[in-house]
Structure 1
Amino acid sequence: MVSKVKRAPIKSIKDLRSNRRWRRKTPIKNAVSASSAVFASIHRRITKLFSKLARLSGTHKNTTSYKILKKTTTSDFESLDTIRRTLVFDDNNDTNHHAPLLLPPSLSGRKTVFLDLDETLIHSKASPPPERFDFVVRPVIDGERMDFYVLKRPGVDEFLEALAAKYEVVVFTAALKEYASMVLDRLDQNRLISHRFYRDSCRNVDGKLVKDLSQMGRDLKRVVIVDDNPNSFANQPENAILIRPFIDDVFDRELWKLKSFFDGCDCYDDMRDAVKHHSTLQQKLC
């Protein structure tokens, strides 16, 4: 009797192909395949972030009043900065860690005074025109031309002239450049102001615009900032003189008081000591 030889079951074509693929994948090829998947995932994430960045950079906000122009506390700046930190894989929340110095090196060796603009040197009002104003500027903001009626603070011309004779004068404002540059062109026709900085040079900290003097390339011992908003100098309060906001008081004498203060600072090596002495005197007078 002839015995039957058992034959192995015939595998399907799908199983054969699967086995061949498994045999061809060496450990090296498996590693390369896994790496390719990781790189593809990273590429997709970066592409998505750049797309979001492009959308944010093209976003425009409608400006409908002067209050929005000067006192806006939220903007796309914080979101853009978050994306920047994500793209460079920076987990440090300190946005100043690698920030560049904004001011060029000082050639005069003078001490530096940073001045706010609105409610410190001038007051500005949008249409309708107020009863009193010195000049009008008409910037184009988000494609819309706006009228701003500017009233100079009493003594501002004399103050700038006296300050520029002894100090490096820098205007640092949280206002938009489109508006503030026109105001300064009219206010500083004698070019007494050495440098100008606008909203884009401020830091957004918890929704507040902060003027960080540590990024200005100046020794903080030789720096003073004058501002009507305490939030502006939150990082360096020891360098700051808080001035009373100006609206339309024709009897305002704050700039004459400041002129006397700066005239008497020659004896101070550290301007923070001068500011501290000034603040003490002001508290006693109050």
Structure 2
Amino acid sequence: MSLSKLTQTCFSRHQAKTFIRLYSSDFKSLLGPPAVANPYADNGRTRFAPIVPINHGNVFASIKLPINETQEAIAFKSEVEEAPKVEKLEVESPKIEAEKVLSSPPPAPAPTSSAIDELNSLKDSLEKLESAASKSSSSSGGSSDNSDPGNAEEIEARRKRMERNTRIGAYVLFGGSIIGFISFCFYYGRAQRDEFGNVISDEFSGSFLAPFYRIANSFKLWRDYVVEPAREQLLPDPLPAPYLQPKYTIVIELKNILVHPEWTYKTGYRFLKRPALDYFLDVIGYPNFEVVIYSSESMMTAAPVVDSFDPKQRIMYKLFRDCTKYMNGHHVKDLSKLNRDLSKVIYIDFDAKSGQLNPENMLRVPEWKGNMDDTSLVDLAELLKTIHLSDAEDVRPMLQYYSQYDDPAKEFRRRAVYLSQQEEQKKQQPDDSSMLKRYSGRLFGSRRHVNA
């Protein structure tokens, strides 16, 4: 039997050994002789034909004949050896002989020489397979097999050579990185020069580490360009004396306060103008207030929108995203850089995070999401006009009072309606002083005449 056929027949060496032990001739079962004949005992793989009836006088018996001894097998297979003929039964007592035939089990066929040869070849193949497996495992171990001195020396030399190459590569990489960093700093950290090629001195001139300081300062400037506002003073100085400088400054967010961005398949991306926006700008515009748009939108997007709804230039200044402070992923408005007195600055926005640096100056109003039936700007304009007429020196207490409500403009309207109702009730009550003036009776003996 070939090795490939053996591997297809036996899935593992353990199964092959079990197979040999079960079907070898030395195996004996504890339960007695097997009832099924061993197929390896007969080289012809004898099978039994159907039961053949035998009639012995008054007793009817039956036996099983091998399939190669039937009449059909003898007729059509002449090359098959003739099977031994069944001896005639000499029955002294037909009844007793029939019982012996029926009760006795068929004898187990003895193993033939061909089966033993096949098992021996199977054992030899298994031994060859085991030896080949042991050789492959020993060869796969490689480094663990140090029985050969020459092989061990070669392995050790290879290991030392790899360790040396790794160390050299690490030194080259580290040295190249240091040299590259120093070259980068000396090239990009060199001093500025004027148009004539003369060196321009700066705060780092004269120091041996000046290139490194200049590189570090460049990184700081880049960070400040991204995080900090674009300039330290966002608004110019107040107007000089001949001109009228408004007393109060209103800083207001553009998005979702005055306009709302919208996108549709029909119109694309556009901004909706909030209802009563023109009335609101007429009330708070110059010269009543100094209006400043301070938005987290970019100048490329927001500047044309502001110019479209304010053709009268009632808004004095416009500040956009580059003037905000970037903190924790949010654009924050820093009112301390406006160059104005914070006691007279009113900041209007819907997002509390945008005014977290100056919460006392913030008047938080609800976010407008495009509802065209909204009239909150009318109430907000009346609230700001009341603050202007009050002529308060510090508007922060009033802003903190109204900021405790969800909608300050609605709360102001409710209070205004309440005060107007109180005034109407006072007008409708009778005045006692007028009744006294209308009295025309005698007073101390004289008659008092009063014209009705």
Q: Which interval holds the TM-score relative to the shorter structure?
A: 0.5 to 0.7
Q: Which residue of 1 aligns with 2:134?
A: none
**Higher RCO (C-alpha under 8 Å, 6+ residues apart):** 1
The residue correspondences of 1:189-228 to structure 2 (distance < 5 A) are: 189-228=311-350
Residues 365 and 406, structure 2, Cα contact 8 Å, conserved in 1: no
Matched letter for residue 371 of structure 2: D
Counterpart amino acid of residue 403 in structure 2: S
- Match for 2:211 among 43, 51, 63? 43
Q: Does 1:153 align with 2:290?
A: no
Report what 1:275 is aligned to.
Answer: 399
Q: Which amino acid aligns with 2:223?
A: L
Matched, 1:100 2:232: yes
Alignment partners' CA distance in 1, 2:297 and 2:226: 24
Cα 1:161–1:283 shift into 2, 3 Å: closer
Give the whole-Å Cα distance in 1 for the aligned partners of 2:337 and 2:217: 28
Specify the structure having the higher radius of gyration (Cα). 2
Give TM-score, length-normalised by structure 2: 0.40
Equivalents in 2 of 1:224, 1:171: separation in Å? 12
Deviations 1:94-134 (A, max 9, x none): x69xx62211122214210001001010001245346xxxx
The answer as to whether partners of 2:249 and 2:291 remain within 8 angstroms in 1 is yes
Q: Call closer, same or farther: CA 1:243–1:83 in 2, change over 3 Å.
A: closer
1:82-101 map, 5 Å: 100-101=232-233
Deviations 1:129-168 (A, max 9, x none): 46xxxxxxxxxxxxxxxx6311011111110111014101
Question: Is the partner of 2:340 in helix, strand or coil?
Answer: coil
Is contact 1:129–1:149 with CA below 8 Å preserved after alignment?
A: no
CA distance in 1, matches of 2:272, 2:225: 38
Shift of 1:44: 4.0
Partner deviation per Cα, 1:20-65 (whole Å, 9 max, x = no partner): xxxxxxxxxxxxxxxxxx9454414534764x68xxxxxxxxxxxx
Aligned length in residues: 196
Change in Cα spacing, 1:189 to 1:80, as seen in structure 2 (3 Å) is: same
Which string of whole-angstrom CA distances, capped at 9 and with x for unpartnered residues, describes residues 177-198 of structure 1?
Answer: 0001010110111110000000
Amino acid at match of 1:46: R
How far apart in 2 are the matches of 1:83 and 1:212? 15
Other structure's SS at 2:254 match = coil
1:247 counterpart = 2:379:
no
- Runs of 4 or more consecutive aligned structure 1 residues displaced over 6 Å after TM superposition: none
**5+ residue gaps, structure 1:** 1-37, 54-76, 85-94, 131-146
Change (3 A) 1:270 1:235: same
Partner of 1:22: none
How has the CA–CA distance of structure 1 residues 44 and 194 changed in structure 2, closer, same or farther, with 3 Å as cutoff?
A: same
> Given the alignment of the two structures, is residue 182 of structure 1 paired with residue 304 of structure 2, yes or no?
yes
Q: 1:82 to 1:227 in 2, by over 3 A?
A: closer
In structure 1, the residue corresponding to 2:303 is in which secondary structure? helix
Q: Distance in 1 between matches of 2:260 and 2:247?
A: 29
User: Unaligned regions of 5+ residues in structure 2, if any?
Assistant: 1-205, 240-244, 415-452
Alpha-carbon offset, residue 237 of structure 1? 1.0
Change (3 A) 1:83 1:156: closer
Aligned pairs (5 A) from 1:127-146: 128-129=265-266
Work out the CA distance in 2 between the residues paired with 1:184 and 1:83: 25
2:246·2:289 contact (CA, 8 Å) conserved in 1? no
How far does residue 272 in structure 1 lie from its aligned partner after superposition? 0.6
Partner of 2:381: 259
Residue 280 of structure 1: CA displacement? Answer: 4.6
Within 2, Cα distance between the matches of 1:247 and 1:271? 28
Distance in structure 1 (CA, Å) of the matches to 2:254 and 2:362: 15
The answer on whether the counterparts of 1:243 and 1:254 sit within 8 Å (CA) in structure 2 is no
- How well do the aligned residues superpose, as a CA RMSD in angstroms? 3.0
